Amino acid sequence: MMQDTRALQVAVVGTGYVGLGTAIMLAYLGHHVVGLDVDENKVAMLRRGQLPIYEPHLDQLMLDSGDRLRWTTSYAEAIPDADVIFICVGTPPLPSGQPNLSYVADAAQSIAGHLNGKLQVVVNKSTVPIGTGDWVARMLEEHAPDYHEGRYLVVSNPEFLREGTAMHDSLYPDRIVLGSDSPVGIAQLVRLYEPLLDQSFEAPGYVPRPAGYTRPELVTTSLSSAEMIKYAANAFLALKISFANEIAGLCEWVDADIAEVTRGIGHDQRIGPRFLEAGAGWGGSCFGKDTSALISIGREYGYDMPILAAAVEINRRQRQLVITKLQQHLHRLKGKRVAVLGMAFKPNTDDLRDSPAHDCIARLGELGVQVVAHDPIAMPRAREEWRHLRYHEAASAEAALHGADAAIIMTEWNEYRQLDWAGALRRMRNPLVIDTRRVITAALPVGTVEQIGKRAPGVLVHEASA
């Protein structure tokens, strides 16, 4: 922990995935943090020590933050004493593809009304369009009751966390990006992140410091460049995934294996191995929203972005490809029972936003399929957020597979990797698995396992029992 003389008073507005991780991490580092949300039920949960989301080790880090962390619904309680104020509210996409900034506007205006005249830095942590930092600065100027020029500073500090490994990414980041036109604002954020920049904090045993890790890069730049860095990073990662999926389609025609191809090109240091996994396409709250936002921003200036548009189209095609593969094997889907394993958009999270499994279940329902779904973590959240879909829950992966005409693996949970697949396939009515995430790695004595980017094998011995 840092010495208390270096501790800052911090307010974090918004307790979603980004806000919770930011608040808990900063409190663990020794700062005094107030997390603020207008949702009274969510704040009540947090005050009881309960998290409204699932993220590995986040609950442990919150417990270790002790009394340096508290929660409120009151701007009057959180803002006046804060040295640094983070805006971590949602920016969901509008039908046009542009992000909805109404939550950012509400937060900025509410913050402005409670600033107290001392030096206070307002940090845009939410993913926002280029120019939003200037827009927030104008709102502070217009709505602060006693505006002081040079006292209320705006800094862009985009987050680069991966859900499922957010605590590791928070404590041991690749880089910290700070964008502002104010050197004073940058200096205050450097002070805030000093324990991370120096790696002077005691690493928790449940999220150990990686071997060979030294310190993150500090990138200081302008407001607009920092905002563009966030969009460009996510867009490039989405491009890598869509590229791998496009090559995977050709691999199936020429009898190549996409896993071997990406392993071969990934050793090229100019390319790297990460985000080259072919499958059912990307999902989550970032890639789709951010690529659409960049395309929309370009459209405002009459600037086409055909590469990004192609990445979005390939991702849409991958979701239909899963259904096409199923139809190629079963031909008629109406009345069939299909197990869908995995509902969250990736493992180690319960986040269902833009999950490929959602589109898969929805399309299967339209085709008259009886869907039985399972996820180790995300089923309780799906009961609330996927009420519009028709499916039955299974208590386990084995229960979902029993008597099924086919199975689709949509999320690469370790639970599915460790499953006795040979035994499970024998209990299916028809032992067919569309494995979109390369979960099954060993040859099986029964059934057919088809994977993305690999020529479909011939049907093996059919020994399934009803």
Could you list the pLDDT tens digit for every one of the 466 residues in the chain?
554 558 999 999 999 999 999 999 999 999 999 999 999 999 999 999 999 999 999 999 999 999 999 999 999 999 999 999 999 998 888 887 788 999 999 999 999 999 998 999 999 998 888 889 999 999 999 999 888 778 999 999 999 988 899 999 999 999 999 999 999 999 999 999 999 999 999 999 999 999 999 999 999 999 999 999 999 999 999 999 999 999 999 999 999 999 999 999 999 999 999 999 999 999 988 888 899 989 988 999 999 999 999 999 999 999 999 999 999 999 999 999 999 999 999 999 999 999 999 999 999 999 999 999 999 999 999 999 999 999 999 999 999 999 999 999 999 999 999 999 999 999 999 999 999 999 999 888 888 999 999 876 543 333 433 3
Q: What is d(CA 23, CA 283) in angstroms, rounded to the nearest whole number?
A: 25
C-beta neighbour count of 187 within 10 angstroms: 15
Q: Is 4-219 assigned to CATH 3.40.50.300?
A: no
Residues 153, 123 contacting (CB under 8 angstroms) = no
Q: Which residues are annotated as a binding site?
A: 37, 42, 91, 127, 160-163, 230, 275-279, 283, 289, 346, 353
Distance (Å, rounded) from C-alpha 341 to C-alpha 324? 18
CATH class of this structure's domain 315-451: alpha beta
How far is residue 458 from each of residues 300, 450, 455, measured CA to CA in Å? 50, 10, 9
**Residue positions annotated with a catalytic role:** 286
352 neighbors 391 (Cβ within 8 angstroms): no
d(C-alpha 374, C-alpha 342), whole Å? 6
Element (H, E) at 185: helix 183-192
Binding residues for substrate: 160-163, 230, 275-279, 283, 346
Question: By C-alpha distance, which of 157, 164, 297 is closest to 230?
Answer: 157
Q: Helix, strand, coil proportions of the chain in percent (round to 5)? A: 40, 15, 45
